[in-house]
Amino acid sequence: MPEFSSALSDPETSQGGKPNVHYTVGASAVKIEVDKQTGKMRIPKAVLAIDVGRALNPNLIKGQITGGLLQGIATVLYEDMRFSDKGKLLNASFSDYKIPTALDIPDEIVSIIIETPQPDGPSGARGMGEHTMIPAAPMIANAVEDALGIRIKSMPLTAEKIALAMIKENVK
């Protein structure tokens, strides 16, 4: 862990000094299937490994890893806020704003807990809930590029965007 991340500048109050003790690392991967006729994507398997410091409640942590990864996947593939020219939200209801259902999530999610105790964390633990969303966008965009040779640079990565990019790049 980077030394500059400690919040224990004043041992009496545990205040001041550095802004954050929750830097952590992880690794992720995703397997995708893309229908080259429609651009529709399916995710058979997603894997996320994250260093949690000390795993105080491993079952809860695995749930956090799964939940955060699914939230990230939802952001990358489905969620799209649309506004009028005057700034009014156009898709403010769930009938207009796409979110994934149980049918849209990966068939298999593998949550891997890595433990490197945080010296100044509570019982060696480290915050990790927010970190589980972060890899979704790059790993899915990289998987699309690896599979099709096209790079989509805006979210959500919809079937329409993928299909149009395949036409533009003449992907067969």
Mean pLDDT of 46-58: 95
Is residue 86, in this structure, part of any structural domain at all? yes
Q: Which amino acid is at 151?
A: R
Active site residues: 130
Is residue 5, in this structure, part of any structural domain at all? no
Structure confidence at residue 22 (pLDDT): 62
Res 5 pLDDT > 70: no
Tokens of 125: 């633990």
Tokens of 137: 């966008």
Is residue 16, in this structure, part of any structural domain at all? no
CATH of the domain at 88: 3.30.365.10
Other CB atoms within 10 A of residue 155 CB: 17
Is residue 13, in this structure, part of any structural domain at all? no
3-state helix, strand, coil in the chain (%, to 5): 30, 20, 50
Is residue 10, in this structure, part of any structural domain at all? no
What digits encode the pLDDT tens for the residues 78-100? 999 999 999 999 999 988 888 88
Share of the chain above pLDDT 70, in %: 88
Enclosing domain of residue 110: 24-139+146-168
Rounded-to-integer distance, Cα 143 and Cα 84, Å:
32
Q: Residue 83 forms beta bridges with which residues?
A: 89
> CB under 8 Å to 98, separation ≥6 — which residues?
78, 79, 80
Is residue 6, in this structure, part of any structural domain at all? no
Is residue 113, in this structure, part of any structural domain at all? yes
8 — pLDDT class (breaks 50, 70, 90): low
Structure confidence at residue 128 (pLDDT): 85
Structure confidence at residue 1 (pLDDT): 47
Q: Which amino acid is at 118?
A: Q
Tokens of 126: 């480290």
DSSP code of residue 162:
H
What digits encode the pLDDT tens for the residues 97-130? 888 889 999 999 999 999 999 877 788 888 888 8
Is residue 43, in this structure, part of any structural domain at all? yes
Q: What total of structural domains would you count in the chain?
A: 1
